[in-house]
Chains A and B, each alone.
Chain A
Amino acid sequence: MSTELTVASYKTDLKPIWCPGCGDYGALNPFYQAMLDCGLQPKDTVIVSGIGCSGRFPYFCNTYGFHGVHGRALPTAAGMKMASPHLNIFAVGGDGDGLGIGGGHIPHVARKNVDLVYLLLDNSIYGLTKGQSSPTSPLPMSSKTAPYGYIEDPLDPLAMYIAYNISFVARGFSGKPKQLRELFTQAIRHKGFSMVHVFSPCVTFNKQVTFKTFNELVKELPEDHDAGNRIKAMEYALDRSTLWTGVFYREERPTIHERVVDIQNRAGRFKDLNELLDDFR
């Protein structure tokens, strides 16, 4: 088992079947490298995905994989982490999956501070279902479900994550793989729920939010940004003129697993069920 890990250790034989130029390639490669940087054993690693083009991630990683239910990657991943806390757990999904149908799960995994990493690949469109509006589609972007232009304001995911008090919040861009590798690495090393939001353009169905858009607007957070300052993090998140990338916010606090163990220690009075039944009222 002591064969040395290389990037190849994390790749499967499957050639990714995303469209040529899809942003998701730009997230996958730095992800392999980050797993290597952190020395993750493929056999101890699980990637849970939702449904979407982004949901194909596990097929291309030589880890364990779980292609789950649309919008439910996060609770499924949380269930795995509860059952096997020693595993490295990732959840991966798109903006529709994670912020639309599954959006309600994020604050609750944040409150639990489940020790896992969530990669949300945001292309501001429903890619797999061929081009409907998503919760991050900007106004007045048109789509198959918005032939006259979209009529709902887009979410502000970063501000939301910070408001939810997720213990690690970062944002990157598939067009900047070097930084992404660094963000993924830090996210993996963070103890607790780590959210990495990735701008990952869909070149096939989204002609309005593109690589060009991000190349123009994306900028790395200043080096002296204090990631312990939540108010400052929120300020950067709400900035409309620049799309900042980097680690916005980070805080060390107990994970749900640590708290469960604490309860077990406090409540664990019995050595077996019979003893409990003797005491049962």
Chain B
Amino acid sequence: MAKKFMKGNDSIIVGALSAGCRAYYGYPITPASEIAHAAALHFPALGGTFIQAESEVAAINMCYGTAGMGIRVMTASSSPGVSLKQEGLSYAAGAELPLVIVNINRGGPGLGNIAPEQSDYFQATKGGGHGSYRLIVLAPNSAQEMCDLTMLAFDLADRYRNPAMVLADGFIGQMMEAVDVPQAKPVPYDHSSWCVRGDEATRRNVVSSIVLDPHHLEAHNLKLRDKYAACARDEVRCEEYRTEDADLIVVAYGIVSRIVYSTVDEARERGLKVGLLRPITLWPFPSARLAELAVGRAKAFLSVELNTGQMVEDVRLAVFGKRPVHFYGRCGGVVPGGDEIVAEYARLLKGGGHESH
């Protein structure tokens, strides 16, 4: 099929439908409402279900109910709404339920504003809910990836029986770009060994996150830990641009990675040897690759984010003191221009850069 011109937010729904998802439960919130609008329009047209829940709490628990039956399901929201979903995500991770959640990150904390930020990085990657669990977190940087990574999110959620999040921002959501609509058929997963569908095959299964006996709960948590370790080993995805001979390696995801990408060649023309590493999976984080680069020719690292410094902590953990790791961020909906970022490269590479801001 030919490319279709569409908004990132619509592209998520195309990805979800391509992945075979036919159940969407949502609650309006700017700047994620368009995902719900697209779902309301397109899900029923393919025999699917769209329900506007009375709140985000209701929506995530509807997801829990559907996921428990082994059926692909999703919800989408923006920061304040995603905060409300944290309880449900913790329970779903505990019960090992595959489901997909999209967060179109807006300005925070609290009501903040409706402009793009990347301030939910901590919440997404460190576990916004309680307990020892992880979310698989994918960070698209184009309308195409809004579709592709939504599909991947369903796949990883099923494969690891865990909630997966697509973490994007209002820019990517609003951007109109050409999207190659995927033709691949979704891989069907057989969940009959654990799900509860109300039929003979699943009669003995139990979906639950309660494990009262301390030893049993410890065993359950260790099993989850091993599952996350396998996911961290096998599922890291990142993209690099001119890192092989870079003095300064810039780490950026989402919309910021597009801005940084656009500065690399220009900076090099000015004698600033920079390269870009873009995490596509925020969890699992490309730590191993960063550790490798930290003992190579790179002299320093710079994390550029739309917040006051979140992913930079993971970059520091990966680099482990082997090189200085700097941070440059704007927030509140203010987005750094290319010039501003190049000026920061110059400051860091031509002296005057102090570690950690």
Which A residues are closer than 8 A to B by beta carbons?
Answer: 51, 67, 69-71, 96, 100-101, 103, 126, 128-130, 132-133, 135, 144-148, 152
Contact = CB atoms under 8 A, between A and B. Distances in A.
- Interface-central residue, A96, A133, A144, by most chain B CB under 10 Å: A144
A179 B29 CA distance: 34
- Interface-central residue, A96, A130, A132, A148, by most chain B CB under 10 Å: A132
A126 B54 CA distance: 12
B192 interface: no
Nearest to A70: B80
Contacts of A126: 28
A171 to B, nearest CB: 22
A132 B80 contact: no
Contact of A129 (B29, B40, B44, B110): B29
Given A103-B54, A133-B52, A144 B27 contact: no
A152 B27 CA distance: 15
Interface of B: 26-30, 33, 36-37, 40-41, 44, 50, 52, 54-56, 80, 110-111
A103 B29 CA distance: 18
Contacts of A133: 52
Contacts of B28: 96, 126, 129, 132, 144-145
Contacts of A51: 111
Nearest to A150: B52
Contact of A100 (B26, B55, B80): B55
Given A101-B55, A144-B40, A152-B52, 11 more contacts: A51-B111, A100-B54, A101-B27, A128-B30, A132-B37, A132-B52, A144-B33, A144-B37, A145-B26, A145-B37, A145-B40
Contacts of B27: 101
Contacts of B41: 147
27 contacts: A51-B111, A70-B111, A71-B55, A96-B28, A100-B55, A101-B55, A101-B56, A103-B54, A126-B28, A129-B28, A129-B30, A130-B30, A130-B33, A132-B28, A132-B52, A133-B52, A144-B28, A144-B37, A145-B26, A145-B36, A145-B50, A145-B52, A146-B40, A146-B52, A147-B37, A148-B44, A152-B52
Nearest to A146: B40
Nearest to B56: A101
A150 B9 CA distance: 23
Contacts of B30: 128-130
Given A69-B111, A101-B27, A129-B30, A147 B40 contact: yes
A89 to B, nearest CB: 21
A51 B56 CA distance: 15
Contacts of A96: 28
Contacts of A129: 28-30, 33
Contact of B54 (A101, A128, A148): A101
A152 B25 CA distance: 14
B54 A135 contact: yes
Contacts of A152: 52
Contacts of B56: 101
A133 B54 CA distance: 10
A67 B40 CA distance: 30
A101 B111 CA distance: 15
A135 B27 CA distance: 12
A162 to B, nearest CB: 21
Contacts of A69: 80, 110-111
Contacts of A132: 28, 33, 36-37, 52
Nearest to B84: A101
B56 to A, nearest CB: 8
Contacts of B110: 69
A160 to B, nearest CB: 14
B107 to A, nearest CB: 14
A252 B92 CA distance: 46
A129 B37 CA distance: 12
Contacts of B80: 69-70
A69 B84 CA distance: 11
Nearest to A155: B54
Contacts of B44: 148
A133 B37 CA distance: 11
A148 B41 CA distance: 8
Nearest to B54: A100
- Interface-central residue, B30, B80, B110, B111, by most chain A CB under 10 Å: B111
Contacts of A70: 80, 111
A71 B37 CA distance: 22
Minimum-distance CB pairs A-B, first 8: A101-B55, A129-B28, A132-B28, A145-B52, A100-B54, A145-B40, A144-B37, A147-B41
A273 B293 CA distance: 60
